[in-house]
Amino acid sequence: MIELESVPELIDPVMVAAFEGWNDAGDAASTAVGHLDREWKGEVFAALDAEDYYDFQVNRPTVWLDGGTRKITWPTTRLSVVRVGGEKPRDLVLVRGIEPSMRWRSFCNEILGFAHELGVEMVVILGALLGDTPHTRPVPVSGVTSDADLARTMDLEETRYEGPTGIVGVLQEACTHAGVPAVSLWAAVPHYVSQPPNPKATLALLNRLEDLIGLRIPLGELPEDARAWQLGVDQLASEDSEVAEYVQTLEEARDTAELPEASGEAIAREFERYLRRRDGGPGQGPGGHATESGDVPYLRDPAGGRTRPPKPPRPETGRGKASDDKGTKGPDEAPGDDPGEGSGDTPDQD
């Protein structure tokens, strides 16, 4: 572990965290933090002691060769810093790891200890869940908080969720008790195509994060990946009439529920984001606005030597079906929802 003293003084720092496991459907949240770390060349300054928080029979270490020498990588949670320049510089503290197997309160206290020492002004925790949402529509992303004042000032929902929760809910509550402003951003991933990766959900989380913290995030190839992902799911769904019919049912339900939002604030938010991105930016071409709808199918040019992301598995007709327990509906769903029946509406997450 690098000593904390080696970290320079940060400018208006925000901590952004995501954890693989129960709260990370389609790996959307952890991939989003990984994208920030990669695009802004984050520097790791700390790693939590894996021995304290992980059951190695659940999250096994991996062995690899380094020039003929065998080494072991242990599952853990790492913290890194990214320095974001520009007219309004703001630094980020990125927390990325695996949901711990034990001692969650100590785990959260250790994370909060770093936040306190670094002067973090707000903690944003990313999550993703499975829901009854069609892949053909923009990914629903909800922003929730336990702080009533924060909910009013930042246009967030004040959580009313009751029920089982994951490390995202526990960390947010720990922040609230410690007096640290905390927000959770949740993306809904279609349950019938739950296998990772899901670049469309990752892109939606980053767009919402960008609006929340006022930073322009370089998106790189994510918009292209999202369109390619949707095209792949479109093709697979078209091969199964039952799945195609089910998707159409979800589309109709979603469109009916969102009719009131076809104007006003929703359009204003999209127009503001367009204005921010119309001149392009780092890692983007002109007009680099990252759309989520994927209305225009896009495939990368094979001649350019760039391959599209792997096609998702064939959609399953069973509702609520997932490849494992990762992101399964239930840990942080809207109050009153049956864990097996995701609503696809904006979730009220803990």
User: CA 94, CA 114: separation in Å to the nearest integer?
Assistant: 11
Nearest to 126 by CA among 195, 38, 28, 224: 28
Kindly state the average pLDDT of the residues 119-128. 96
Q: 43 pairs with which residues across the strands? A: 81
Half-sphere exposure of 305 (CA within 13 A, CB side): 0
Percent of the chain predicted with pLDDT > 70: 72
pLDDT exceeds cutoff 80 at 110: yes
Rounded to 5°, angle at Cα 140 from 136 and 141 = 145
- What backbone phi and psi angles, to 5 degrees, belong to 139? -70, 125
Six-digit token string for 335: 């109050």
Q: How confident is the model at residue 266 (pLDDT cuts 50, 70, 90)?
A: low
Are 32 and 125 in contact, with CB atoms under 8 Å apart? no
Helix ranges (DSSP H) in the chain: 28-39, 50-53, 104-118, 148-153, 167-177, 199-213, 222-238, 241-257, 265-277
Residue with tokens 């984001």: 273
Comparing 286 with 72, which gets the higher pLDDT? Answer: 72
User: CA 346, CA 117: separation in Å to the nearest integer?
Assistant: 34
Q: What is the per-residue pLDDT for 319?
A: 38
The 10s digit of each residue's pLDDT in 14-53 is 999 999 999 999 999 999 999 999 999 999 999 999 999 9
Rounded to 5°, angle at Cα 76 from 74 and 80 = 120
Helix ranges (DSSP H) in 258-314: 265-277
CA dihedral 201, 34, 144, 348 (to 10 degrees): 40
Are 53 and 158 in contact, with CB atoms under 8 Å apart? no
Nearest to 58 by CA among 88, 99, 92, 30: 99
CA dihedral 166, 37, 202, 285 (to 10 degrees): 170
In this structure, the number of other CB atoms found within 10 A of the CB of residue 243 comes to 19
Q: What sign for the dihedral angle of Cα 31, 37, 41, 42? A: negative
Comparing 262 with 299, which gets the higher pLDDT? Answer: 262
In this structure, the number of other CB atoms found within 10 A of the CB of residue 67 comes to 5
State the pTM of this model: 0.73
